[in-house]
Amino acid sequence: MTASADTHGTDRDDTEDVALIRRNLQAVHARIDAACTRAGRSPSEVRLLPVTKTVPERRIRHAIEAGCTIFGENKVQEARMKAEALSDLPVRWSVVGHLQTNKAKYVARFASEFQALDSAKIAEALDRRLQIEGRALDVFVQVNSSDEKSKYGLAPDEVEPFLKLLPRYPALKVRGLMTLAVLSADHRRVRECFVRLRTLRDRLRADAPNGVELHELSMGMSGDFEVAIEEGATVIRVGQAIFGPRLLPDSYYWPA
């Protein structure tokens, strides 16, 4: 058995894999609890969003058996296929990666949440498609908190004018802000990104436009979610700590 096969559960039987995912979820929840205790917060304020990119349908079924009810996916095409394959189960989908206008119609059909809103063009395309579908979508505005040129998301000083446009798109239910911290082993630099997002949210919340809610802060992944919780995260997006290491490099999902 190769390590990669083991990682993706292809050689593990179904019952074993459900048990493994359950143990991993318990370990993540224990880490959430500990971070909340340090920060004087309640674990009920932090939602765990399991991220299933590259995880095959069969293992997602195991995760549902282990209690998951919503999954995050980075790429629309992958999310769409999985939503279709799993349409027999009561499960919801959150798209957490960059979206192109021509894919907005799919997101409007199958997703219940979109966390990477960063342009008026996408807002417009989504709203139009959602109106056609008679649906609404919870959205997060993605912020580039690390100043890396390659990162998606609005610069912090672009967020306030952007929020002012959003009441034009009534099918978009704005819930808060999302960010990816700098990928660094230096927790101080990672923490700075999270502090920046929280500070921005706090400053903008007071006079956010009508109907624009800024309660949520989606920040933190497998390697840094404790820091994010200490800095106020209300949603953490966690893949590898639940499903094991990914085979595809992260540069496939966001520019390096």
Residues 51, 72: contact at Cβ < 8 Å?
Answer: yes
Give strand ranges (E) for 18-96. Answer: 47-50, 70-73, 92-95
Q: Which of 190, 222, 232, 244 binds ligand PLP (CB under 6 A)?
A: 222
In this chain, which of 8, 53, 129, 196 binds ligand PLP, going by CB under 6 A?
53
How many Cβ atoms sit within 10 Å of the Cβ of residue 189? 13
Whether the Cβ atoms of residue 112 and residue 146 lie closer than 8 Å to each other? no
Site string for ligand PLP, 87-126 (x = CB under 6 A): ---------xx-----------------------------
Which of 196/237 has CB closer to ligand PLP? 237
Supply the angle between the helices 76-85 and 57-65 in degrees, to the nearest 10: 60
> Between residues 128 and 252, which has the closer beta carbon with respect to ligand PLP?
252
Q: Which of 28, 51, 141, 214 binds ligand PLP (CB under 6 A)?
A: 51
**Helix, strand or coil, per DSSP, at residue 29:** helix
Q: Quick one: which segment of 36-44, 152-160, 197-205, 235-243 binds ligand PLP (CB under 6 A)?
A: 235-243
Three-state SS string over 43-61 comes to HHHCEEEEECCCCCHHHHH
Q: Which amino acid is at 167?
A: P
| Closest CB 58 distance from ligand PLP, rounded Å | 18
Binding residues for ligand PLP, total number by CB under 6 A? 14
* Alpha carbons 240 and 7: distance in angstroms, whole number: 10
78/160 with CB nearer ligand PLP: 78
Nearest to 5 by CA among 59, 77, 67: 59
Which residue from 83, 221, 228, 235 is in contact with ligand PLP, where contact means CB under 6 A? 221
Q: Which of 9, 153, 232, 239 binds ligand PLP (CB under 6 A)?
A: 239
Between residue 145 and residue 184, which ones bind ligand PLP under the rule CB under 6 A? 180
Q: Which residue type does 242 have? A: I
Instruction: Give yes or no for residue 201 binding ligand PLP (CB under 6 A).
Output: no
Give the residue at shortest CB distance from ligand PLP: 239
Output the DSSP codes for 157-176: GGHHHHHHHGGG-TTEEEEE
Binding footprint of ligand PLP on the chain (CB under 6 A): 51, 53, 74, 96-97, 180, 221-222, 237-241, 253
